[in-house]
């Protein structure tokens, strides 16, 4: 599978923009820190500029846990749902869903989006870094409300966890967000 990485603040040499290609990996590295919302919206544009039919999103701190059977089923499900979407509903021990939202935390980790869905829905204009709302949770609920018939369930035995298991996302540790 082709891999596209949108990397913020990886460039320490003060170059404005670099693109590196390694066989099936493309890295779009931008100087500075555009922030979560701008980065997600830019990533969406970059992904939709490809000819891929499906997109699987991960944050940089995601750790994928799975079994060979679940991984195979995961790919089959995307083939069976060419216009579909899915978010993980796997919760680590001690975790539970957020109020009114059934999906696992850090919802864009292991988020599966068909081109059909991703062309129709952009990330909402809510910036979590300004305590305007969590755009990942708003995005998942938007899909659940607007396209429930296109949702499918991911195998329970494929899921993401943060490399600092049990801690909040890397950006949110700096201060408390509402």
Q: Which domain holds residue 93?
A: 54-166
- Whether 43 is in a domain gets the answer no
Confidence of residue 30 (pLDDT cuts 50, 70, 90): confident
- Whether 104 is in a domain gets the answer yes
> Would you state the pLDDT for residue 157?
92
Decide: 151 and 85 in contact? Cβ < 8 Å.
yes
* Tokens found for residue 156: 């329970």
- Whether 178 is in a domain gets the answer no
The per-residue pLDDT of the chain, averaged, comes to: 84
pTM: 0.83
> Would you state the pLDDT for residue 170?
54
Residue 94 gets which letter from DSSP?
Answer: T
- Whether 92 is in a domain gets the answer yes
Contacts of 11 (CB under 8 A, 6+ apart): 18, 29, 30, 31
Buried residues in 7-26 as b, exposed as e (16+ CB within 10 A): ebeeeeeeeeeeeeeeeeeb
- Whether 27 is in a domain gets the answer no
Q: What is the mean pLDDT of residues 79-89?
A: 96
């Amino acid at each position: 599978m082709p891999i596209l990485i949108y990397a913020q603040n990886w460039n320490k040499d003060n170059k404005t923009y670099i693109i590196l290609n390694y066989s099936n990996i493309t890295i779009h590295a931008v100087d500075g820190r555009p922030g979560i919302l701008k980065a997600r919206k830019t990533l969406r544009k970059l992904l939709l500029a490809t000819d891929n039919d499906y997109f699987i999103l991960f944050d940089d701190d995601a750790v994928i846990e799975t079994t060979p059977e679940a991984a195979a089923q995961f790919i089959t499900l995307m083939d069976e749902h060419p216009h579909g979407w899915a978010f993980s509903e796997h919760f680590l021990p001690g975790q539970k869903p957020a109020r009114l939202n059934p999906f696992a935390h850090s919802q864009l980790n292991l988020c599966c989006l068909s081109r059909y869905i991703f062309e129709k829905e952009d990330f909402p204009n809510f910036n979590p870094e300004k305590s305007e709302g969590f755009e990942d949770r708003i995005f998942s609920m938007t899909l659940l409300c607007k396209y429930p018939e296109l949702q499918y369930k991911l195998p329970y035995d494929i899921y993401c966890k943060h490399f600092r298991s049990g801690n909040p996302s890397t950006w949110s540790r700096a201060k408390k967000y509402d």
